[in-house]
Structure 1
């Protein structure tokens, strides 16, 4: 063996020590990095840097931003990483105007609250003021106004909350193209039927109906009107049987069948 290839132990020991030292230094730097990283996280979580700076409210028109923020329990001291989405949504869902709510976090400092309110299904008139009624039957007394836009019907004569709530729920299920045709809804209970209602429509017809299954029964209204002569106005009955009674007086036996819709006289 050539002497040139022989390395003495004395020559190798310094190199081994140097390699071990470098390895130990790298390990120390690694552990120190983790340590300072964890310390930084703890300091961040305990400092105002992790607090909410912006709360954005979306979708509300009846409930103010301030009310929603107050009811949510959020403040600018709330840690954005400590948000309890389910708890906040539960708190806001107790508001009778709010149908559903979704809370999300937008880093680094923003919380978004998306609100879905019950839609306005009608207006109740008291003296000279109009009060909006929501789809869950809640009347917004704090939002009284001297006029209304006519996009939702007047709801008149409902003196009992039970029936007003049922009516509002049915109107809430109506598609807009049908609800927009309704001008007024009058509660006209009888001894036999406490759910009886009379509707005045924007197209000139009247509808005799019941609160029970009103949304389902009104689905046929457009097809019934389409079968009637434009000049023939009267009452469309939506009950056990669906038929039309004209305002024009005719002989009692003058009844015309129109694809299952009867047309006859308006009884006196």
Structure 2
């Protein structure tokens, strides 16, 4: 198979909602799903800059989530998959993090995924099938400094994933995807915060060299995995978390002797 070639996963005609799909990882996921023939609806607070069915939704607000789900079911007659990708990040230790920032992160990253699941699951149960994907992070397992609220929210998504998986199987599957660093506007913002706008590319390249694969990921990397997990080819995958991090979590950052001993 050539690089970038799409294998027919049997997804044509299915209906999926991706939250936070107007840019970054969400956009990458939608692009791959569209190429597979999926009817995708982007739930986001910002307008997308590409062609996709879009419905403005703040996932932290119950009424907006309900209206969005009703729109999808009314237009397409079903909802086969939900990808909870919407997320925000703020840097800070516990004592540096304001209560407002803590609440905002938890509301979007965790409550948003809860609300999306809560109001899509009844439709999935009625049709007898569905898949929910929660986009967590490798920071669900290993944490960098000064991301207390963000890391906590990504840990919480693993608990939500397992709970949905065991409560609603075998009709509904739920899986968490845990990406490493992915080239998105959020990563570029983090690089700019650290070194300034002029040196963003150098910083991202430096981060990439930490990874065994020698680069950071791209949104399409997450899109390909998502498409597979939404397909029937992954029908026995449920209640687990899949890391997609170029091998980073397998690396012990301690040098070994250069000569055989």
Tell whether the structures are fold-level matches, with TM greater than 0.5: no
Larger Rg: 1
Q: Name the TM-score class by shorter chain.
A: under 0.3
More helix by share: 2
TM-score by length of 2: 0.21
